[in-house]
Structures are given as C-alpha cells and as structure tokens.
Amino acid sequence: MVLFNLDIYGIAVSGSNQGSHVLKAINCDMYRPSVRFSFSKYTTKNEIDYCIEKVKSIYPALIQS
C-alpha cells in the first residue's frame, strides 16, 4: 500500500521482497516493515518536503491496517 500510494503521488519507488543491504548493515529488525529513502545531491528541499507531506497523508491508513 505504501509503495502504491507513493507511486501515485509521483514519488519514485522500488519494491522488493528482499531486505535492503543498507538496513541489514545497520542491524534493522528485518521482521518489521520499513521504508528506506535515498537522496542525491540533486534532491531539492521542495522534493523532500513534498515526500514528507505525502507520507504523512498516507500514514493514518497504515496504522489502521
């Protein structure tokens, strides 16, 4: 649901059923759902703010499911 909604908002997503090597490296609990964001030097503050806004808008639906 998260990836679908972010994609609808035009936020690039990549879904995989395998855990992220980055999350494994920081000893993240691989049995808990997680989302990893990647940024580049070309990512603007407006793009980050937009992403945060959209994540906040879908969060209530996530905690209810």
Mean pLDDT calculated for residue range 53-60: 88
pLDDT single digits (tens) 29-52: 767 767 778 889 999 999 999 999
User: Pick the residue with more confidence: 18 or 8?
Assistant: 8
pLDDT of residue 16: 67
Each domain of the chain, given as residue ranges in start order, spans: 2-64
Within 10 Å of residue 11's Cβ, how many Cβ atoms?
15
Residue 7, pLDDT > 70, answer: yes
pLDDT band at 21 (very low <50, low <70, confident <90, very high): confident
pLDDT of residue 31: 72
